[in-house]
Structure 1
Amino acid sequence: MSKGLKTLLVGLAATTALATAAQAADLPVRSAPPAPIVAAVPVFTWTGFYVGVNAGYGWNTNDDDVVIPGVGTFEADDEGGFVGGGQIGYNYQIGSFVLGAEADIQYADIGGDSDFDGIFNGDDDDDDSWFGTVRARAGVAFDRALIYATGGLAYGEIRNGFSSSDDVSVGWTIGGGVEYAFTNNLTARVEGLYVNLEQDDDDLPAVPGVSDETEFGVVRAGLNYKFGSY
């Protein structure tokens, strides 16, 4: 091969290499694929209106045995039974704290009977017994679990054994409970209440030493439907 041909081939090779490098520089730089978008999991909140039903057990705590000298002995025994009804309410969550209000109405197969030295016996009609409450609620939420205290107004017709009035009695209630949200809309609870109703009985004379209050306890389970997606 002649020296001139060699020089020509070397020049062609160099020119080709330069052209290839320039063309590669003009190509776009390949970037890494974008990261997949992951949707955030919705955070559950207790805020919202709800309605529900409940059922449980109630018992009258009025046990009065009173001895009146020269007259005789009055005895009152408590009775317990089924309690059930419905509730409606609203919760508002601020951070981990939950504030709310609730009203309920209850059938109550509880009451009491009275006896005077085995001569006179009075028994209330449990089928007519009922009560309702209007209460505030305040609690602490641990995600879907809620521990709360509650208290407020109580009213109803539940007799204590010495009472015979059909008037609606008014008083107060206090209690607490635990509630858990199984889904975004369905919650279940266990709740306990103490209820005190003032009796206004004009049909019977006052009996010394006998309370004119009806006191009873309630333990019940409830199921609520909360409106809203979360």
Structure 2
Amino acid sequence: MTVHFIGAGPGAVDLITVRGQKLLAECEVCLYAGSTVNQELLDYCPPSTRKVNTAALDLQQLEQEYVSAWQQGQEVARLHSGDLSIYSALAEQLRVLERLGIPYTLTPGVPAFAAAAAAIGRELTIPEVAQSLVLTRLSGRASKMPESEQLERFAETRATLALHLAIHRLDEIVERLSPFYGADCPSVVVYRASWEEQQIVTAPLASIVEACIQHRFERSALVLVGRALGAVAFDNSALYRSDYCRRFR
């Protein structure tokens, strides 16, 4: 018996990995984050699979589900939204499994920022404009930000920012970032990237709050800020120059 943690991707059912789909097709128990995962993904499971929505479960109740499946020798698919490596509360679950001696595997998924970039048709790193992408958030009830990771410190770099779990504080984001990026800096809000109900709002940083008012986004939206989002007059990279050695391309 193994617990297979699977990144479900940003939402669209065909953006799960082949490996993830295969694991779902073989599982006897599927634990899924019902508040964030597209439940059409459960169609990949066999009809006999026991499906458990974990949205209302605490860590102790999750542990009980793992132990129950372990005792019965049942393969478990643990379905998380996006990719497992960020904001998934994965680490605390792995600590439980390691304490119990229950084996597990990790299967990555398409992250929300990648789906958002695809939706707006942009590369988030542009030569000599921005070569770094910062994935971050604001302090919240579930997890506080370390003092060394305050938004202003990242803003000093002028890197492209992708802010998760913070759409409800968009006005605060604008206030804190404007001194570093400027009022005219391109910004984008992508709501439910890759879902059928996906919505995209694009505006300069100074007016992004006003542009989003009519949409009333409260969750499931990613905020992107940075000059790379609107870069047009930039120098090409050397990658495709005729005199460039393509040894590592």
Same fold (TM over 0.5): no
Shorter-normalised TM range = under 0.3
Give the structure with the larger strand fraction.
Answer: 1
Instruction: Name which one, 1 or 2, has greater alpha-carbon Rg.
Output: 1
TM-score between both structures, scaled by the size of structure 2: 0.20
TM-score between both structures, scaled by the size of structure 1: 0.21
